Amino acid sequence: MDTITQHMAPSRFNYIKFCYQAVTDAIECELDVHYNDPGSVQLVVNITSRPFADAQALYALGHRHFAEYNAYELIKMSSMLPEDCSWHYLGVVSEDVVVPLLAVPNLHSIETVDTQLAAQSLNMHRLARMRAYPSLPPLRIFLQVNTISHLSAGMHAPGLRDEHAIFTIANYIVKFCPGLWLCGLMTFGDTSKGYHSGENEDFRKLSVIGERVSRMLNRPLELSMGNNINYLEAIRQGSTSVLIDKTILGPL
């Protein structure tokens, strides 16, 4: 065990190591079966509400892409792990978190942009930082799409539901937000849906919308979709980034 995990019980480290290897092997096998580039899918581990030692263990195993829902936890964790990590933000893009988030030097992307107002704020503050640091590239963002067909009573799911709104915001970002780079679309989807014999409806919806937006912009877009129970199905349906937590780290 690496010295970076010296404060973790060996049994816990070995558990994470075993599960992490199982997931990475499964992804590699899935890509091999479909003749895809082994690097064409990014595994992102969500460490929200996890102890710092779990992130340290993953780092010791060679993992570098981490995600957080809480902006201030992301800021704290990013300062504690080495700078070669890449951080993905999954939380609400509210005005109070934009400036501190953009100060994180290894912020990889914000995956939950779902309003023009959020895009405007991110663009304005990123441009200010790009003027101060000329080598800084535009901020990578994803548009969050709500692909869930039927919401239960009282249930709220964030993200853009109207296809016209998705096209409008995507076009706005590309034309009027030089501080942003639209990487693609993201959905959490219905996390209770696992693998089944047919297509996953959420993934199919995101893939179809992604193809249409891609044609409109005349460039390829990434798709961030897939979770603990359906990440392999997501890859089969075109995902370029999958988000895992308990399949590797166990239940909270």
What is the reported pLDDT for 154?
A: 45
**What percentage of the chain exceeds 70 in pLDDT?**
90
Residue 195 has pLDDT above 60, yes or no: no
Give tens-digit pLDDT for 24-79: 999 999 999 876 777 799 999 999 999 999 999 999 999 999 999 999 999 999 99
pLDDT score of 178 more than 50: yes
Q: Check whether 150 has a pLDDT greater than 60.
A: no
Is the model's pLDDT at 155 over the cut of 50? Answer: no
- Round the average pLDDT of the chain to a whole number and report it: 92
- The Cα-based distances of 47 to 72, 113, 203, 246 in angstroms read 13, 20, 23, 9
Instruction: Return the minimum-mean-pLDDT range out of 7-11, 119-123, 127-131, 146-150.
Output: 146-150
Mean pLDDT throughout 103-126? 98
Q: How far apart (Å, rounded) are the C-alpha atoms in residues 13 and 226?
A: 25
d(CA 108, CA 67): 10
How confident is residue 193, by pLDDT bands cut at 50, 70 and 90?
low
Going along the chain from its start, the domains and CATH numbers come out as 10-149+156-249 (3.20.20.10)
Q: What is the pTM of this model?
A: 0.93
Per-residue pLDDT band at 161 (split at 50, 70, 90): confident
Comparison of pLDDT for 144 and 189, the residue scoring more: 144
